[in-house]
Amino acid sequence: MKLTLQIWRQKDAKAAGKIVEYPLDGIEGDMSFLEMLDVLNEQLINKGDEPVSFDHDCREGICGTCSLFINGEAHGPDRGIPTCQLHMRMFKDGDTIFIEPFRAAAFPVIKDLVVDRSAFDRIQHAGGFISVNTSGNPVDANTIPIPKHDADRAFDAATCIGCGACVATCKNSSAMLFVAAKVSQFALLPQGRVEATDRVLNMINQMDAEGFGNCTNTGACEVECPKGISLENIARMNREYLSASLKG
């Protein structure tokens, strides 16, 4: 395939960015989107030009670092996958593809297509964990009976990879779906109930402090989420937050 790439280039966080056009040829449909960018960067390096910076790690749909805004959609035109699992067969010969970083005040651009998503880490640090006995006598988690329905729902919430697609696709740059998933994975389990009050209050307060917007109730976050995290988790988090606020 012959493609025309319109890519956001930005030297650093303080520099003004702009869209730069790159013609690209010889792209196969079985290539992943990131492999296509690898081909582009190899050509740029061979010409002595600066390669395009973009995030990637596992390239197996697990780590969530490959987040790109492609033709106006988080992770591109396919569904249920992050950018690294998007294949070029989703595009046609002669297509023009616009590639941008995720846009959100809480996700400042570091360089080109790379954004700083450490805001998510700070939200996790605020309460996305359970305290366990590490003195050498931890309790075996399997000794606590958990209904399968609850375990399945907790696992579904825990599949969130923290990519930020929910933030990028929300018109208010809301992180509600991400935070709700991290709250729900513990709220549904007895191990998580001990610290439930502090967890939801601390995580939502940190979310607000990071500058994320409010939920718009349009459901775009669920549509674009590569792991299909349900909006039901936001409703659950709201109930958890109301209960925690009433307690004190």
Query: Per-residue DSSP letters for 93-138?
Result: TT-EEEEE----TTS-EEETTEE--HHHHHHHHHHSS-----SS-P
* Lowest model confidence (mean pLDDT) among 25-39, 136-150, 154-168, 205-219: 136-150
Bridge partners, residue 174, by sequence: 213
Cα separation, 69 vs 77, whole angstroms:
10
Alpha-carbon distances, residue 43 vs 23, 51, 119 (angstroms) = 11, 9, 34
Per-residue model confidence (pLDDT) at position 165: 97
Name the β-bridge partners of 69: 74, 100
Q: Would you state the pLDDT for residue 248? A: 65
Q: Look at residue 126 and tell me whether its pLDDT is greater than 80.
A: yes
Q: Whole-angstrom Cα distance, residue 42 to residue 36?
A: 10
Q: Tell me, what's the pLDDT at 132?
A: 79
φ, ψ (nearest 5 deg) of residue 129:
-160, 170
Query: Cα(238)–Cα(229) distance, rounded to whole angstroms?
Result: 16
pLDDT band at 138 (very low <50, low <70, confident <90, very high): confident
Cβ(176)–Cβ(237) under 8 Å? yes
**Cβ neighbourhood burial of 178 (10 Å; 0-12, 13-18, 19+):** buried
Alpha-carbon gap, residue 238 to 227, rounded angstroms: 21
pTM metric for this prediction: 0.93
Query: What is the mean pLDDT of the segment spanning 185-198?
Result: 94
Q: Hey, which residues does 21 pair with through a beta bridge?
A: 6
